[in-house]
Structure 1
Amino acid sequence: MIGVKITKVAACILKKKKKILIASRPHNKIFAGFYEFPGGKLKKNEFLLCGLEREILEELSIRINRNKVIFLKDYLIKRRGKEIHLNFFLCNEWAGEIKSMELQELKWVKLSDIFKYKMLTSNRKIIDSLCYLL
């Protein structure tokens, strides 16, 4: 579409012992204090999995196992001349120790407790799909 800015985003739902990792949005970003699944914007012409691997390494200092990543769902958000393509992946295997590299608060939570946290609406939409996978 002419005049529409398209942003592609890859987010990773990391699973460990029936819990999933959520991260608070940094205080210097829009929706500060809300929780979301780790990930971020893809660079121009970057493939989804490559962008996911890069974002998770930058944010959490871990390397996800590409062979153990499962594509879950994608969403399209349209806002004022913008399109945001959100792509969610599930991963339960990675190398390294998870550390917050971007001053985010990280929490391992049970799926049944996730609504106790102020989650971004776009991230809340994926939670129903997780019930079948966790």
Structure 2
Amino acid sequence: MNQDARPLIRVVAGVVLNHDGDYLLSSRPEGKPYAGYWEFAGGKVEPLENEMDALKREFAEELGITIHRAVPWLTKIHAYEHAHVHLRFFRVAADDWSGRLQAKEGQQWSWQRAGDFTVSPMLPANDALLKALAVPTELFGRLNTGLRGENRMGEYRVVPFAQAEPHHENVWIDENELARRGKLPEAKSVWAVIDEAAQWPRVQDADVVLWRVADNTAAEAVCALLTEGVSLPLAVYADAALMRRFAERWRAAGVHALVLNDETAPV
């Protein structure tokens, strides 16, 4: 079959948090492909249904909870023999859902800590998503000496690749340097740093993309890219003035992390 003739199936999934910062995973029920495998709950978007309505319906049908608000996170497109699947993930904060969890389809569910998932087997496609959830949503510091934040496992630090030592798990590297190297450095998590949208297609192998935002033009470009949908976590590195003007817009559009360029921050 010609690839262009394959139907596009729209699917939504929700990354639901509780007040401890844990994420909700559920197992696939009997009778479905990969029965018993763990995933983020969700399902197909019905004809004439928007993505948010589909997310609300799926969570009500599968787990008996009500989704009040959600913000976009990652967009994945998978090409299968029979169809293209457009998968949109949403993040749902602890105060943005209500109700008592119920296994309405006979599945299991579990709250898991970011960076320390214990349920199995996991759908193979979720490996990158689970890794991304370990990245804090707020960090601070200076690129030349390092960035700091916290997740449920404790301190999270990103250091320049040129200064990295064997015990450093997370490193950042400039896209221009990455192009010269021709491959990602060895690390648990590699952050690629960009300054403009033109660099975005060249860093799709990174674990996180950090956009160094210096002015309003770049800040607006971030909004435009997020609106299109991003396939891997996008973090924004900006000073306090730009954060005040754009932080809420970036969050609403689906930015993964805000990184404050704080020249006075301890490192």
TM over 0.5: yes
1:120 CA drift (Å): 1.3
SS at match of 2:56: helix
1:32 CA drift (Å): 0.9
Comparing 47-56 with 116-125, greater Cα deviation is found at 116-125
**1:11-90 mapped onto 2 (5 Å cutoff):** 11-16=13-18, 17-66=20-69, 69-90=70-91
Q: How far apart, CA to CA, are the structure 2 residues paired with 1:117 and 1:78?
A: 25
Identity percentage of aligned residues: 29
The letter of the residue matching 1:15 is L
Residue 121 of structure 1 corresponds to which residue in structure 2? Answer: 124
Q: How far apart, CA to CA, are the structure 1 residues paired with 2:124 and 2:90?
A: 17
SS at match of 1:57: helix
SS at match of 2:115: helix
The letter of the residue matching 1:109 is Q
Matched, 1:109 2:85: no
1:126 CA drift (Å): 1.9
CA RMSD in angstroms, aligned pairs only: 1.7
Comparing 95-104 with 110-119, greater Cα deviation is found at 110-119
Residue 222 of structure 2 corresponds to which residue in structure 1? Answer: none
Gaps of 5+ in 2: 138-150, 152-267
SS at match of 1:124: helix
* Larger RCO of the pair (alpha carbons < 8 Å, separation 6+): 1
Maintained 8 Å contact 2:112/2:118: no
Comparing 95-104 with 1-10, greater Cα deviation is found at 1-10
Structure with the largest fraction of helix: 2
Structure 1's consecutive aligned runs of 4 or more residues displaced over 3 angstroms after TM superposition are: none
Maintained 8 Å contact 1:3/1:81: no
1:99 CA drift (Å): 1.0
1:122 CA drift (Å): 2.6
Structure with the largest fraction of strand: 1
TM-score (norm 1): 0.89
SS at match of 2:58: helix
Alignment partner of 1:96 out of 85, 96, 99? 99
Comparing 30-39 with 119-128, greater Cα deviation is found at 119-128
TM-score (norm 2): 0.47
Q: Structure 1, residues 32-65: CA drift from partner, whole Å, max 9, x if none?
A: 1110001111101211101001101111111112
SS at match of 1:85: strand
The letter of the residue matching 1:18 is G
Q: How far apart, CA to CA, are the structure 1 residues paired with 2:122 and 2:105?
A: 18
Matched, 1:132 2:133: no
Q: How far apart, CA to CA, are the structure 2 residues paired with 1:83 and 1:125?
A: 20
Alignment partner of 1:9 out of 4, 8, 11? 11
The letter of the residue matching 1:117 is S
The count of residues paired between Structure 1 and Structure 2 equals: 132
Gaps of 5+ in 1: none
Q: Structure 1, residues 60-92: CA drift from partner, whole Å, max 9, x if none?
A: 1111122xx121100000011310111111112
